[in-house]
Amino acid sequence: MIVRMRKAVLIRVFALSLGLAGLWTALTQPQAPVDLTVEKIADDLHVIMGGGGNVGVYTTPEGVILVDDKFDQHVPQILAKVKSVTDQPVRYVLNTHHHGDHTGGNQKLLAANAEIILHRNARDLMVKGNQPGVPRITFSDETAVHLGGKEVRARYFGKGHTSGDALILFPARKVLHTGDMFVSGSPFIDYSAGGSGIAWTDTLQAALKLDFDTVIPGHGPIMKRADLEQWVKTFATVRSRVNDLRRQGKSKDETAQLLKMDDLGWKPSTFWSQRSLPGLYDELAR
């Protein structure tokens, strides 16, 4: 009997490890080829969409500043899209965090003489994960890139999606690129990378003190400040519902079945069901 129980536990642990490995692969490995598109926010600010995370493209008379660079396979398309709006070369890339769908193009862009900047926690995570294209420059709380008379600011307000998420502000355009701290739909709380479903909303509340009207999310269409404000409220409501079910003695599986989110506009994703919800349940129990 004991042998059978131990075997069952080992099988469950093995299955879980395979599931987590699959999720990590989804974040770090190239997906099926896809045609990228460009959306204009202003004459000097565009967003490249499709494939991995949304790429911000800020053009100046002395070069281009990118925010994130999708997967390695997307770099030729990214550079072609940049070329469609300016003849200037890419000079800087600001990574919002370490996941491969946002940093996968780093290696090629470093080789093309672009300088890459990200939060020091995110760099540590890239090194730990043996990811290619580790940047040479990091920051702790804030930094800025000044190029061609224009400025882009990177700020760190705390944990959320991971422990190293930067929010990127284009002050002249009042636009905020959030990376995966804000996405269309339910969030992925990467607990393996120091993420926190409790700290997340406080982190975004701090970011909401910045002066911006338009938001470039990590994934999904361009949105407005009001969309981000509502998303923060939705997150707090969902978290409260999870905590209520936990306090009622419901298990993680029961909580997943009973938790209602569709009335708030969130649909459970694979990342939410397999990583975010179980991790949030445990975090709330501490």
pLDDT in tens, 66-81: 999 999 999 999 999 9
* Higher pLDDT among residues 2 and 177, named by residue: 177
List the strands of the sheet with 63-67, edge to edge: 37-42, 45-49, 55-60, 63-67, 90-94, 115-119, 137-139
Confirm whether pTM is higher than 0.85.
Answer: yes
- Where helices occur in the chain by DSSP H, the ranges are 2-28, 75-83, 100-103, 106-111, 120-128, 199-207, 225-247, 252-258, 270-271, 277-285
The candidate with the shortest Cα–Cα distance to 203, out of 130, 97, 279, is: 97
Q: Which CATH number among 3.50.50.60, 3.40.50.300, 3.60.15.10, 3.40.800.10 corresponds to the domain 32-223?
A: 3.60.15.10
* Domain spans, the chain: 32-223
Residue 150 pLDDT greater than 50, yes or no: yes
Lowest-pLDDT choice from 24-38, 39-53, 129-143, 271-285: 24-38
The candidate with the shortest Cα–Cα distance to 68, out of 28, 27, 120, 105, is: 105
CB 161 within 8 A of CB 195: yes
CB 85 within 8 A of CB 38: yes
Q: pLDDT of 197-253, one tens digit each?
A: 999 999 999 999 999 999 999 999 999 999 999 999 999 999 999 999 999 999 999
CB 173 within 8 A of CB 214: yes
Radius of gyration of the chain (CA): 20
CB 37 within 8 A of CB 66: no
The candidate with the shortest Cα–Cα distance to 52, out of 18, 115, 113, 97, is: 97
Tokens of 249: 């003695």
